Structure 1
Amino acid sequence: MKKLNIYFTAGIPNLEDTTEIMKLIQHSGAEYIEIGMPYSDPVADGPVIQKAHEIALKNGMTIVELFRQLKSVKSEMNIPVVLMGYINPVLSFGFKNFCKECRDSGVSGLIIPDLPPVEFENNYRAILEEFKLNFIFLVTPETSDERIRYLDSLSSGFLYAVSSSSTTGNNAKEINNEEYLSRLANLGLKNPVMIGFGIKNKVDFDKVTEKAAGGIIGTAFVNILLQNKDWKAKGQDFIRSIIN
């Protein structure tokens, strides 16, 4: 069975909705929950998720508040929870303290796109291992086979294969790039490959997961949270429409 990872930004539509959204994702049948930590300059994200970051920050979401919320539902979560964010807020919090809080909050892994692999190896890998946290690197269609293997060797949990080099939410023309998906499938990687960026519906999900372990949906789900007062029902229906 292909695995579905649903991303959303913590603190939207309202500050206290984070835990309800986590429960919704789990109960709807997804296999991963990926939570974006709001940041003032989310350079890898498209306009929808940038807007979500802006709203979340206005709502008062912080790393401290997020950990408080995560701890409140830790005992109810049966699927992996992954945090995605940018390195500056994590360093401001203190990397080791951040990892300890992740462990204590039931977080299983981190995605920090702007953390260089060399810095990861030299300064942070041992800390992540100490707190038993996975770390997921991203690759793109432009990444060479040699570097894909290198990033796969550093990653644990899964390898995040971006379907294009654009920002999140764009209509990625590479989403049906057979050559790219085949190349990833044939590299003999140690981690399962999850495809992200540009997946909006079941057709997209089924297409990219023909040669990958699963797919990651963010912008399409965040749109539901931001645009619908009845986001609980619509969000559940959306996730189930992808899986079924």
Structure 2
Amino acid sequence: MNRITALFLEKKTQNLNIYFTAGFPKINDTKLVLKSLQEGGADLVEIGMPYSDPVADGETIQQANQVALDNGMTVKLLFEQLAGIREEGITVPILLMGYVNPVLQFGVEAFCQKCQEVGVDGLILPDMPASVYEEEYKAIFDKYGILNIFLITPQTSESRIRHIDEISHGFIYMVSSASTTGAKSGISDVQEEYFERVNAMNLTNPRLIGFGISDNETFKKASSHSAGAIIGSAFIKMLSTSTDLDGDTKAFVKMVKGQ
């Protein structure tokens, strides 16, 4: 069974997914940050593939992307960095998050095959249209056991949300607001109404809430409406000033979880 699927069967709420950019702050920090997140208690880890023209990411993650690219980070190098991680004791579900163009350049089947080889469980590609995924790529993803995670927003129609639920496995990424990552903090009454509206649809897949989650308060509030939450910008900001990546990463996870 896919590790993401297994996680949500076992743990229904308070799941914490932490995002970080591969090759940031330094090019060889990817594996260190991944291990520290697992040891700190993250339930899932989302590794960003640096890209020069991100469409959903705010200033903090854009800057991390640029630093990683300047460091020399590539998709090929990321797979090299992840090789052997499962044999080294990494058991946490891992997703790669990025944009579809680098995946197309790599070759979709070759990319999915490498994900399977190194132990990546799922992909988040915000600019991959659902129709294109269904018609052209779903069979390839299924062949290699890779889950494709779709995003929904407050503006997504009920019919589209239900369609995404039908073609999804694992979880649905529930974007909390129509903004870029890191642009807002906290959760408003309007956002809570959106969470409850989606909950009332009784979807098959669990949801994780992202955008605007940064601490224990927002994590708990998001988890009260979903299976958990995703934190990216707040963690990247911490990494950018850290002098002890291992210790600070573990402390960050425990802070968010209230441990």
TM-score past 0.5 threshold: yes
Cα distance in structure 1, aligned partners of 2:160 and 2:185: 22
Structure 1 residue 235 displacement after superposition: 1.9
- Indicate which of 27, 31, 41 corresponds to 2:39: 27
Paired residues of 1:80 and 1:107 also in contact (CA < 8 A): yes
**Paired amino acid for 1:210:** S
Cα distance in structure 2, aligned partners of 1:219 and 1:231: 16
Q: Which residue does 1:200 correspond to in 2?
A: 214
Cα distance in structure 2, aligned partners of 1:178 and 1:20: 35
Q: How many residues align?
A: 244
Paired residues of 1:166 and 1:172 also in contact (CA < 8 A): no
Cα distance in structure 2, aligned partners of 1:29 and 1:186: 30
Cα distance in structure 1, aligned partners of 2:23 and 2:86: 17
Cα distance in structure 1, aligned partners of 2:94 and 2:188: 25
Structure 1 residue 231 displacement after superposition: 3.0
Deviations 1:91-117 (A, max 9, x none): 000010000000001000000000001
Q: Which residue does 1:95 correspond to in 2?
A: 108
| 1:203-242 aligned within 5 A | 203-242=217-256
SS of the aligned residue for 2:29 comes to: helix
Cα distance in structure 2, aligned partners of 1:4 and 1:231: 19
Paired residues of 1:44 and 1:168 also in contact (CA < 8 A): yes
Deviations 1:164-195 (A, max 9, x none): 11110111575552211101211111111000
Q: Which residue does 1:132 correspond to in 2?
A: 145
Q: Which residue does 1:52 correspond to in 2?
A: 64
| 1:107-126 aligned within 5 A | 107-126=120-139
Matched, 1:152 2:129: no
TM-score (norm 1): 0.97
Identity among equivalent positions (%) equals 46
Paired residues of 1:33 and 1:81 also in contact (CA < 8 A): yes
Matched, 1:186 2:200: yes
**Structure 1: where are the runs of 5+ without partners?**
none
Matched, 1:5 2:17: yes
Structure 1 residue 229 displacement after superposition: 1.8
**Where in structure 1 do 4 or more consecutive aligned residues deviate above 6 Å?**
none
Paired residues of 2:185 and 2:214 also in contact (CA < 8 A): no
Structure 1 residue 211 displacement after superposition: 1.4
**Structure 2: where are the runs of 5+ without partners?**
1-12
- Indicate which of 89, 92, 98 corresponds to 1:85: 98
Cα distance in structure 2, aligned partners of 1:58 and 1:152: 38
SS of the aligned residue for 1:82 comes to: strand
